[in-house]
């Protein structure tokens, strides 16, 4: 018989709160190994004793972890065998020590829990807080590491005997499931009227569904915040929600019981279906059917896509179950269910998502007709994530705080992000942790939420940053906060140019170390020369960048105001084309002042922004003169181009100068001559794609580089991205796009952090 050996195994990665210790326990006891496993600050520590062959087999089995777990690092070292240990394997209490483990993201209810939820004989039949080690809340209920019940919002719920048995039984699916609970011992639903007063309902689910079907708007507490919910097929209810939320045109997301039910409203390709059904359950932008906009007026007006998701909490599922007549079992979930709910973040007027009950009653007063809530607190705000089949638009619930691996290790950086769609990023070694989407810092509440997010991220990661990073624009609230933080902690604060950060974010997630070309097509960001940039061709090399070229600037009559008023960009283009006399004819009396501004260059800075080029095109085509939200005109142009189908680029639609200036004024001139909107939009996209390819070919000639990163908000435009990528790849380019973060300002903090990590100062 081979001599006994004793091994110490340390595992890093996402290994806490995901059923990892019972998994280790099962593997060890099945093999008759003795020893123990415990959580510690770095992840999971195992000591295990047995014969070398069995130990080897044990290690191999460890490498296929449970559904929600992820092993980044597994290290084995030899210990002196202990002759006095018995043959038992135990799960022992967490040790203290420095914390570097990761908390898992929240996960949708798993199939095993769903089966129990709809089984009338199960003790958790219709219990809205059912979960297990393979599913349920994590990040949003956790205040600190290690991930143990006292550090979560389950701390106040003592386990009943049955739940305690499960919790303590290593063979049970709920062994050490921190949020484990049942109707006897766990959280419960509550039901309040519009003014927040408690209401009595024999069955809250039944009452809530009845109110929704009667056209009411309910605030329903989810995983990372409240949703405002109504019947998507009731136009009056949707219109009322829009009016109360003061959201004129921004699209609402919808929820259906399953992908089959969504297929009635939109096309779903296999990638989109995988996203929809993944345990992260993001909102997926699906191509609306042509008649959907008419059948669901006001949900996604004027857009090509419908934002849709599947239920992810037991509570969501119970609403659909109720609508289906409380069928037994889960077979009903395989069939088409007609219920379609609007599920929009409860964030009045662009402020942060509401998470607290008292806060909900106060901030949603006048919006919600009732509140479906519960007594399990949300400790971290986390919006729904939004994706397309091309990648993220918003990275939050289901993904936060999962680490992004960087190309290398470096000093810990805390990066404060930009102004719109703000996120923050904290790094340790070669890992970057992004906060969930925080929002646009145009109001005091969101700025406070940014400070909270910084604190929470530090609490759950316990990282002391060594460097601070922010945008080059000193007046962003995020930049001011960064400067204050750096001064207080006596840390260097590195200001990173906006478009450099956009490209660096892509470089960071793709693990690149060499110089690369970056095409940043964006709204606006402060340039290194003090100008307003946004259509940039950069060469990026670590902490340095060079501006090789940019779009021909457009005047911005009225400055920032022009970003919300595409017609001003159209007026500017006409002025530059020497056709000022047409401005008033097209845009009426309001245009007289703008024409004077343009002629006298008063309050008229210039911008090379690609976003503003889309605005000018949309207004010249008569598609949109005023926008309700950033990017609206561009999204509508994309929708029109989709409707038109493939088009050829406009011959002579652009001029590329030797100095790298790319000029689309010939294209704008053509668009202003009464072209049909759909044709114009399609041609606009095609001309952009072909001109950008030519621009890059020019840059390749002078730089010798054949790798390009496509960054900036304009690359949310699927049509442009697909066309450009196809052309570039055919010409031998390696094209990198944002995959783990959005290409828009939601990814800026990652890029800032990576630049700051590489800076010498
Ligand atoms: Zn489960
Ligand atoms: Zn219980
Ligand atoms: Fe940007």
CATH classification at residue 314: 3.90.870.40
pLDDT digits (tens, 9 = 90+) for 317-332: 999 999 999 999 999 9
Question: Do residue 210 and residue 327 come from a single domain?
Answer: yes
Average pLDDT on 138-152 reads: 89
Q: Which domain-ending residue is among 335, 361, 387?
A: 387
Ligand in nearest proximity to the CA of 114: 1
Please tell me the number of the ligand nearest to residue 161's CA: 2
383 C-alpha to ligand 1 centroid (Å):
22
Contact 349, 246 (CB under 8 A): yes
Indicate the pTM of the whole model: 0.92
Residues 427 and 468 grouped into a single domain = yes
CATH code assigned at 36:
3.30.70.100
Q: Residue 584 falls within a domain, yes or no?
A: no
Shared domain check, 356 and 261? yes
Residue range(s) defining the domain that contains residue 304: 189-387
Distance (Å) from CA 162 to ligand 2 centroid:
6
Percent pLDDT > 90 in the chain is 84
Residues 373, 482 within the same domain: no
| 417 and 379 in a common domain | no
Q: Is 742 part of a structural domain of the chain?
A: yes
Compute, in angstroms, the gap from residue 716 CA to the centroid of ligand 2: 46
CA of 358 to the centre of ligand 2 (A): 27
Q: Are residues 381 and 408 in the same domain?
A: no
Provide the pLDDT confidence category of residue 520 given band limits of 50, 70 and 90: very high
Tell which residue, 89, 91, 90, 78, has the closest CA to residue 32: 89
Write out pLDDT tens, residues 203-240: 999 999 999 999 999 999 999 999 999 999 999 999 99
Cα of 462 from ligand 3 centre, angstroms? 29
User: Which residues are CB-contacts of 177 (< 8 A; sequence separation ≥ 6)?
Assistant: 19, 131, 132, 133, 136, 166, 167
337 and 420 share one domain:
no
Distance from the CA of 712 to the center of ligand 3, in angstroms? 5
Q: Indicate whether 340 pLDDT > 80.
A: yes
Least confident of 127-131, 303-307, 608-612, 744-748: 303-307
In a domain, 176, yes or no: no
Residue ending a domain, among 38, 72, 91, is: 91
**Residue 678 belongs to a domain:** no
- Asked if residue 579 is part of any domain, the answer here is no
User: Is 248 domain-assigned?
Assistant: yes
Confidence (pLDDT) at 301: 86
CA angle 504/473/397 to nearest 5° reads: 55
* 145-154, 160-169, 704-713: the lowest-pLDDT one: 145-154
Q: Are residues 344 and 454 in the same domain?
A: no
Q: Which residues lie closer than 8 Å to 197 by C-beta, 6 or more apart?
A: none
Q: HSE (CB half, 13 Å, CA atoms) of 664?
A: 34
Window from 493-507, 607-621, 630-644, 663-677 with minimum mean pLDDT? 630-644
Q: What is the CATH number of the domain that holds 547?
A: 3.30.420.40
Q: Separation of 186 CA from ligand 2 center, angstroms?
A: 6
Interval 706-734: pLDDT, tens: 999 999 999 999 999 999 999 999 999 99
Least confident interval from 12-16, 71-75, 305-309: 12-16
Ligand 2 centre from 158 Cα, in Å?
8
Query: Which ligand approaches the C-alpha of residue 498 most closely?
Result: 3
Distance of CA 40 to the CA centre of its chain: 29
Structural domain ending residue among the three candidates 76, 91, 106? 91
DSSP letters, 681-718, are HHHHHHHHHHHHHHHHHHHHHHH---EEEEESGGGG-H
Whether 268 is in a domain gets the answer yes
Answer whether 651's CB lies under 8 Å from 671's CB: no
263 and 331 fall within a common domain: yes
What is the DSSP-derived secondary structure letter of residue 296? S
367 assigned to some structural domain: yes
User: Tell me: the pLDDT tens digits for 561-578?
Assistant: 888 999 999 999 999 999
Answer yes or no: do 430 and 373 share one domain. Answer: no
Q: How far, in Å, CA of 694 to CA of 184, rounded?
A: 67
Of 91-100, 687-696, 715-724, the poorest mean pLDDT is in: 91-100
Distance CA 28, CA 190 (A): 43
Which contacts qualify for 122-125: CB closer than 8 Å, 24 or more apart? 123/162, 123/182, 123/183, 124/182, 124/183
Question: Do 369 and 259 belong together in one domain?
Answer: yes
Q: Which ligand does the CA of 181 lie closest to?
A: 2
Q: How many domains does the chain have?
A: 3
- Tell me the H-state helices in 401-497: 444-461, 477-489
**Rounded distance between C-alpha atoms, residue 449 and residue 447, angstroms:** 5
User: Are 208 and 279 contained in the same domain?
Assistant: yes
């Amino acid at each position: 018989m081979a001599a006994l050996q004793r091994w110490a195994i340390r595992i890093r990665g996402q290994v806490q709160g995901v059923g990892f210790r019972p998994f280790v326990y099962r593997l060890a006891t099945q093999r008759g190994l003795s020893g123990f496993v415990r959580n510690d600050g770095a992840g999971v520590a195992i000591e295990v004793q047995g014969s070398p062959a069995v130990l080897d087999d044990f290690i191999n089995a460890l490498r296929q972890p449970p559904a929600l777990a992820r092993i980044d690092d597994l290290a084995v070292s030899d210990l002196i065998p202990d002759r006095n240990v018995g043959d038992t394997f135990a799960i022992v209490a967490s040790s203290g020590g420095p914390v570097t483990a990761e908390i898992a993201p929240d996960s949708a209810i798993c199939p095993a829990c769903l089966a129990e939820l709809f089984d009338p004989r199960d003790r958790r039949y219709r219990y809205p807080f059912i979960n297990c080690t393979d599913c349920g809340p994590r990040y949003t209920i956790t205040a600190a590491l290690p991930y143990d019940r006292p550090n979560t919002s389950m701390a106040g719920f003592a386990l009943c005997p049955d739940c305690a048995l499960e919790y303590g039984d290593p063979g049970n699916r709920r062994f050490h499931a921190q949020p484990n609970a049942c109707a006897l011992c766990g959280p419960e639903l509550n039901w309040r009227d519009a003014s927040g007063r408690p209401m009595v309902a024999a069955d809250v689910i039944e009452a809530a569904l009845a109110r929704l079907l009667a056209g009411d708007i309910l605030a329903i507490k989810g995983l990372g915040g409240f949703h405002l919910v109504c019947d998507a097929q009731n136009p009056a209810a949707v219109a009322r929600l829009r009016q109360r939320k003061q959201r004129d045109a921004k699209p609402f997301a919808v929820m259906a019981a399953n992908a089959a039910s969504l297929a009635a409203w939109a096309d779903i390709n296999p990638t989109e279906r995988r996203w929809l059904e993944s345990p992260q359950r993001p909102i997926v932008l699906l191509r609306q059917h042509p008649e959907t906009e008419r059948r669901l007026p006001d949900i996604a007006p004027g857009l090509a896509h419908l934002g849709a998701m599947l239920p992810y909490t037991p509570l969501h599922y119970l609403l659909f179950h109720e609508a289906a007549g409380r069928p037994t079992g889960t077979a009903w979930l395989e069939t088409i269910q007609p219920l379609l709910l609007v599920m929009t973040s409860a964030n009045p007027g662009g402020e942060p998502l509401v998470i607290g009950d008292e806060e909900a009653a106060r901030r949603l007063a006048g919006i919600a007709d009732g509140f479906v809530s519960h007594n399990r607190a949300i400790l971290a705000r986390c919006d729904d994530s939004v994706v397309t089949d091309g990648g993220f638009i918003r990275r939050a619930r289901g993904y936060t705080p999962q680490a992004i691996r960087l190309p290398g290790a470096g000093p810990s950086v805390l990066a404060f992000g930009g102004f719109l769609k703000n996120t923050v990023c904290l790094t340790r070694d070669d890992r970057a942790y992004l906060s969930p989407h925080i929002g646009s810092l145009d109001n005091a509440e969101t700025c406070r939420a940014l400070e909270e997010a910084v604190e929470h991220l530090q609490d759950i990661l316990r990282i002391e940053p060594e460097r601070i990073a922010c945008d080059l624009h000193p007046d962003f609230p995020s930049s001011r906060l960064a400067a204050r933080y750096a001064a207080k902690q006596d840390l260097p604060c590195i200001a990173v140019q906006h478009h450099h950060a956009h490209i660096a974010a892509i470089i960071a997630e793709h693990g690149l170390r060499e110089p690369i070309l970056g095409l940043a097509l964006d709204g606006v960001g402060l340039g290194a020369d003090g100008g307003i940039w946004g259509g940039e061709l950069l060469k990026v090399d670590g902490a340095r960048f060079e501006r090789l070229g940019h779009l021909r600037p457009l005047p911005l009559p009225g400055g920032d105001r022009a970003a919300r008023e595409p017609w001003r960009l159209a007026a500017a283009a006409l002025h530059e084309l020497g056709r000022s006399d047409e401005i008033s004819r097209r845009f009426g009396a309001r245009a007289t002042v703008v024409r004077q501004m343009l002629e006298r260059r008063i309050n008229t800075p210039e911008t090379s922004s690609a976003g503003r080029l889309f605005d000018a095109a949309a207004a010249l085509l008569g598609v949109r003169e005023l926008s309700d939200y950033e990017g609206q005109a561009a999204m509508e142009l994309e929708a029109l181009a989709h409707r038109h189908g493939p088009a050829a680029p406009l011959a002579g639609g652009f001029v590329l100068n030797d100095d790298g200036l790319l000029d689309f004024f010939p294209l704008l001139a053509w668009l202003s001559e009464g072209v049909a909107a759909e044709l114009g939009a399609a041609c606009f996209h095609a001309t952009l794609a072909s001109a950008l390819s030519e621009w890059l070919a020019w840059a390749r000639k002078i730089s010798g580089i054949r790798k390009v990163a496509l960054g900036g908000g304009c690359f949310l435009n699927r049509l442009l991205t697909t066309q450009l990528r196809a052309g570039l790849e055919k010409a031998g380019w390696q094209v990198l796009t944002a995959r783990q973060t959005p290409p828009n300002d939601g990814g800026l903090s990652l890029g800032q952090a990576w630049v700051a990590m590489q800076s010498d100062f």
